[in-house]
Structure 1
Amino acid sequence: MLPETGCLEETGNPYEPYRLLDPAGAVVIPVAVWFSELQAQGKPSSTVRSYGKDLLRWFRFLWAFGVPCERASRVDARDFVRWMQMADKPVRMHWCYKARGVTAPSRPPGLTGLEPGSPNPVTGKPTPGLKYAASTRAHAETVLRSFYDFQLEEGMGPLLNPFPLDRARRGGRAHAHHDPREPFAAVRQGRYRPRVVQRIPRRIPDALFDALFAALKYDRDRALLSSWVSTGARAEELLSSRQRDPDPGQQLITVVRKGSRKQQALPAAPDTFVWLRLYQEGAWGSGIPRGASLPLWWTLRRPWRPLNYHAARAMLIRAQVLLGSNWTLHDLRHTAAYRMARDPELPLTHVQWVLDHAHLSTTQIYVTAGLEEIVEELLAYHARRATQPAPPPPPAAGYDPASLDVLFGRPR
């Protein structure tokens, strides 16, 4: 276990949303410079936060062994990757245990009390495991390689990138001598980058979605769930909406896109605006601030605060306790994408515009059948096979099959 020294601090300053602090509380200058570069490239603060978490894990590894950032070698990077493969993820105490003054369990139980990493019986999705996932390790490798590429360009880092490219990529581009008659093979960008299995996005079946919707207690939560599954917007995009953004007359909800930061009006189902109106009537009657430029989604208890991602995620988890499922907020976006992409009367290019995908190939993954549909079709196939009559045995040698059909009155 690495000592949890240093931290990633949220400043609230739009010019410096996050900064990495060392064990002494001082700002890590190389990381601060790179964060400025990311902001200049138009990266949102959520991306800076995600990159900062990977950098904090790497710097804690260096601080534990007394290795300066600018002197990190490939041996250090290799050992760090090996450590992420074998080490357990740290368990952090939940706020409720801190408030009660009790000792937190070594590993919080899942929604259904399953073993870490085992599939959920309702959704089929694996529960969080004890080790770092391959996608987490791949993301960390990409972030750290990009960080040291920038350090090399600025003359602030080591002479060699501790996280090199794959040997097949050195001295050339990907698929440099590719035969156009052969399919493209997957190319590993980084030498220490793990292979990540491409999974089919999980959607919530209609019956389970109805049960999840019925488990919600408040009109605000019903309006949120209906908005996510009808617009296909990302969770944070919808949570950042203002009170002027819904347009019930045109059945549109305006959101700010995550990547391009552009405003886009998304069509929503009529039921969404019914639940939204019910939520607003109850919220304004209880004293939640009103104003066109104020946030649309608020907490339901005093002191009033804008609803953030973590509170919305906790709301969804509470609603799933009785169901025993482990759906996430992003699964609602997958559900909306599946519903729209599988409609034969809705062009796939329209779905791409709603989901704000840069490439149509990203939207095409929702055209393929989901796991639930595949299982249902295969079970129906086995049921048909069980009810079909067995074929007649072949005739003995010397008999004409056509004559036997005439004799027994079988259709030819």
Structure 2
Amino acid sequence: MRKRLKFTFFIAFLTVAMVILFQVTWVYNSYKASERNFITSARFALRRAITSYQLQQNELPTSLQYKEPTLTFFQSTIPNRDSIALDTPKVIKRFNAKFTTVKVDEENKDALLEILGRLLSQQMHTPLNPDSLNLFFKKELLKENIRVPFRLIVSTNAKVATDHAISVPVNFYRSPVIVQAIPKNQSLALWRQNIIPASVSLLLILLSAGSLLIMGKMIIRQMRLNKFKNDFINNITHELRTPITILKSSVDALETFGAAADPEKLTRYLKTNGVILNKMDQDIDRILEISKYEQGVIRAQLKRVDVAQLAREVSNRFNLTLPDAVLINYNLSQPMVNTDPFILDSVFSNLIDNAIKYSNHPVHIEINFQPIINGWQLQVADKGKGIASFHLPFIFDKFYRVQTSDVHEVKGYGLGLSFVKELALILDGEISVASKPDQGTTFTIRFYDK
């Protein structure tokens, strides 16, 4: 069973680790892809901005603005061979020029405009102005849905731009020119783009880890509960077998050894049998009562109760002799509180019985009633053996019993404190415990006014 459980946990941890690794890798790759797309889009916007800037700085042929754009090229010159015309003083042309007009396709128009703009800028010796260029760059960035501020730098005699830099080389200049765009808060912008995928990935990681944690706790708790159940069965079997053995011995004595003929022995045997049967009946009623409260069959019936008097009545039922003592401290402003006397009776009985079982002799128990904000609290404290801190989170679990050499022989089913917690919840109360070994234990129940 343990090997199978270890193997199950190993597979679960391996699965969660792989899910976490996959999610982290996916987020990293998504971030890198966004970074590449950002650089590519910004570089494309910068190239278009340079083209727009150069076109505005120079006057282009009007034929490019026609419905069907054309461009006329100078092809060659032909000397004027008219000798008579050459001797005429009013001759105008010594050469004839030959031109060619071509039609520009719409698909190639943008590329042609870019080349013309750069050629004209070279011929006119027009330098690049970063401030003016930045205005065109901002407009192009908005088209790419990029809202990160940039700083433009125009460098001459610069090296070729790298793939990770947002830079564009400007050709046709006598000296190489590179326009570089330096972003501000690029990482922040990229994380804004990836915040939703990263959040979903983080949520999946948390859900996977949380599911594993909950599953592990459930399995461990189920194993512990199964152990407690087996201990409870063994314990209750032992507790029932002992009185049954006594009853059998008593009946056998009455039948076989003639004890029925002796009035004194008969009375003693019957009295012993009555005590044992009453004890068994009380244990059965207690278990059935716990089941009814857990199923919600029995509900609280609130009324005005003198809780201090109720505590005295319950403590008087226990066989305490001097110098044993139960001290009751009542510090509430009202003599009576609104509660269910039968439920509170069971709470007192279980806590006092528990304190007596685990107390040193002489027994000393304090029952304190104190006011709190919007209610009151009940404390039952003893100066007994105490409980180690390891056991405190589990003592209200059903069937749980502290297994130590000191208290192993204390009789019980591990149901008392679980029952008290259930009763406190029915009264809308909150129960807690504070304890240290050899210093005693204090149970505190806080009841809040409705």
TM-score (norm 2): 0.17
The structure with the largest strand share of the pair is: 2
The structure whose RCO (Cα within 8 Å, separation 6+) is larger is: 1
The structure with the largest helix share of the pair is: 2
TM-score (norm 1): 0.19
Return the index of the structure with the highest Cα Rg.
2
